[in-house]
Structure 1
């Protein structure tokens, strides 16, 4: 399969897993990040999975609705097995707790191919912003 096809399939799986877990089982998200992951959540910077997981655990229950997502392979991030990095852009709405209004958000991920577990990716960069 070509890099674009792999990126599209991987992105579809990632988006479904990420937002489904975010809304129902946030503790599973920490496994997607590394200590070296760069994370920016609405202007708040986090370094690594542990600090980010603790922050997510303090947020109220959420419900995401994804409007659109797009992806692009990053061939400059090709690993020794030939897997490329993936740039993902997501736009949607999210409602936190019993707040009556949904908020529009944009989120950009850079997924890097995992050198240890072939076929897997980790979040190298995550930038979330309310619009």
Structure 2
């Protein structure tokens, strides 16, 4: 195992921060059904609240079956390169929020209510991505494994 340099750590920090921002803005976008699967590969594994999905088509099937979302990331941490383990905590609202629910919706319904989630990603360098001009830094990672769970 090689020793990490300060530059390695800075690159990983930027990659984790960039991934987290881009992933959730894509997830919450109107084009998410087409764009979110681009973070994955056919061999990627996803577990969404205990239910397994496989690869880009699994992600597409999951996303296309859920209402619009709004994520608020409260914190994230990451581990050392070359693979990145990123853990994210935050809240997600599915649908248009409580005011978007039909009038007959019970106040105790979870529909449209913010829910706390925890999500863990294993990102690996994408061998097909072109290296950047900054010291051979791999410009892109893909999601090899993803586990999301509602908390509470």
Same fold, judged at TM 0.5 (above): yes
Kindly name which structure, 1 or 2, has the bigger radius of gyration based on alpha carbons: 2
Matches within 5 A, 1:27-66: 27-66=34-73
Cα distance between partner residues in 2 of 1:55 and 1:38: 13
Shift of 1:70: 0.8
Equivalent residue for 1:9? 14
Deviation at 1:73, TM superposition (A): 1.7
- Gaps of at least 5 residues in structure 1 are 75-83
The answer for the alignment partner of 2:86 in structure 1 is 88
Q: CA deviation at 1:2?
A: 2.5
Q: Could you tell me how far 1:57 is from its partner in structure 2? A: 1.0
User: TM-score normalized by structure 1?
Assistant: 0.88
Structure 1 CA distance, aligned partners of 2:67 and 2:112?
13
Q: Which has the higher strand share?
A: 1
CA distance in 2, matches of 1:100, 1:31: 27
Once the two structures are superposed, residues 7-37 of structure 1 have per-residue CA deviations (whole angstroms, 9 ceiling, x without a partner) of 1100111111100010013121111101110
Cα distance in 2 for residues equivalent to 1:124 and 1:5: 22
Deviates more, 1:11-20 or 1:48-57: 48-57
Unaligned runs of 5+ in 2: 1-5, 97-110, 132-137
Q: Any idea what the Cα deviations from partners look like across 1:98-122, whole Å, max 9, x if unmatched?
A: 4342000000000000112132111
The alignment status of 1:110 with 2:122, answered yes or no, reads yes
Aligned alpha-carbon RMSD (Å): 1.2
1:87·1:109 contact (CA, 8 Å) conserved in 2?
yes
